[in-house]
Amino acid sequence: MVNYNISLDDAAFAYLVYDKKHEGFSNHILLKEHNLYLNYSKKTEVLYYTNNENSIYIIGLCVDSHAELERSQIPAFLLTNNPGTIDEIIKMSARFAGNYVVLVSLEKELFAYTDATAFLQINYSKDAICFSSFAHLVAKILNKPFDECNLKIRESADYVAAMPNDITVYKNIKTVLPNHYFHINKFDVCRFYPYEELEYYDSYTDILNRHIVLIDNIVKEYAKYNNLVCPLTSGWDSRVVFSFLTRNIPDIQSYTFFHKNFTAETPDIVIPKKICKLKNKKYIQIPDLQPSDEFVSKITEIIGQHYYKSDIAMAYTYKDTFGASASITGDIIDQLGKSALVNLLPTFLATSSYFVAKKRNISPDAKKEVAIYLKRIKKEKHNWPYVYDLFGLEDQCGRWAGYARTIYSAAGITLLNIFNCKEIIDDWIRIRRSKRKKHCIHIYFLHALARDLLQIPFNPDEKFKFVSNSKVLFFLATHIRHLIKKIRKPHLKKNKKG
């Protein structure tokens, strides 16, 4: 068993902004105008530009989907080509993709915002200027206890399920959701998207054809700085990712985790193998490995206790197999590309009861937090028609998927998403859900890039397809499953085991 260096300074995409240098990080930049230090790990890059007392700092990996700017040019581009407002700078960032946070010092005010889906998080204190990619780090620095109400919410669902709204388990520590920016001096978080009322596209073919160019550019940029590998299952999302990666990186390797409950006949084993044989691509199956107690302990020292050992073991398995290679995830095209969350439900059913059922949390306080979140969306009338997509983007992509990203970051593993670009996501939301539900985006991409992959079955072991094909059955099934969870409480035993 290999002993890996696990520490804050070995974490991928890890940073802290505070009024002191932090000894856990080897890199520190003084933000003179604000008397703050930007601390970051040796596996994290920071690019910055200063102009007339205004500054921009980009933490992490930020690339241009238009392929017109080098990474080093992006900070100056944002600062010198805007009218001087944070909202305009954010709009100009829509073309960029990656895993990043942008700090903007503008007219002596300090702002922060994330990439399109908060791949790199902003977890902040409401009591002092202290924010980080890790909520647990902020809590440790400020000696913040658990918030008892929030802790009950956390224990009322699987740990994998996202905490509702913007709360964390720690007292007065919150997270900035996608589509929001943090006005640091005022401890205020503001929604910036939708910018205005969105109009659905009558035709989407030209849009998706342009996306192929943008995504190709993103893949090429990612590949400049990382050795990429491609997870592959029997599903739709990973197959689209595979088609883009193999198109741009001929020698890329694909893989599937071979879990204990898998057999040689499991579709998630059979189909990836068939795909890679058809395309003559390298493919491996990775059996689950068990990390040492020391590895698990060092990870939880960075991220806290509310993570399953089995999920930490998956990060260890990946690291033991691929080392520093970056894995490409597919959650954005899952949640938004096929509107997976809602199955064409009308917006009058977008209630706190429905969303808390989808989050699989049985706590009444979780329902209250979701209600607060929905109330904020309703403040602007033009937001409500897109409530399902906003929830999918902000909660499912931003928070639910953030669970695994936090573990992998602490393990020093780079995760990236080739669709994590606001310009692309904004276009997808403008394609009607009725069309996305039928996999129009997936089919268009596969038809254009790898038509033969459409002939191989998708998710052949998927059960209860008739439920997902009916709005009524889908809605009822969501609430029935939630009721059963309330009665049986299967998460209690799982959470206790850890």
Per-residue model confidence as pLDDT tens digits over 221-264: 999 999 999 999 999 999 999 999 999 999 999 999 999 999 99
Q: For residue 197, what pLDDT is reported?
A: 86
Q: For residue 162, what pLDDT is reported?
A: 87
Walk me through the domains of the chain, giving residue ranges and CATH numbers.
8-191 (3.60.20.10), 204-343+372-495 (3.40.50.620)
Confidence grade of residue 202 (pLDDT, cut at 50, 70, 90): very high
Q: Which carries the bigger pLDDT value, residue 153 or residue 462?
A: 153
Q: For residue 3, what pLDDT is reported?
A: 83
Q: For residue 52, what pLDDT is reported?
A: 83
Q: State pLDDT tens for residues 255-299.
A: 999 999 999 999 999 999 999 999 999 999 999 999 999 999 999
Instruction: Tell the residue number behind the tokens 């700085």, with chain if given.
Output: 225
Mean pLDDT confidence for 464-493: 69
Q: Rounded mean pLDDT of the chain?
A: 94
| 475 pLDDT above the threshold of 80 | no
Q: For residue 384, what pLDDT is reported?
A: 93
Identify the top-confidence range among 95-104, 355-364, 374-383.
95-104
Q: State pLDDT tens for residues 18-57.
A: 999 999 999 999 999 999 999 999 999 999 999 988 999 9
| 466 pLDDT above the threshold of 60 | no
Largest CA distance in the chain: 63
Q: State pLDDT tens for residues 337-366.
A: 987 667 678 899 999 999 998 887 889 999
Q: Which carries the bigger pLDDT value, residue 324 or residue 197?
A: 324
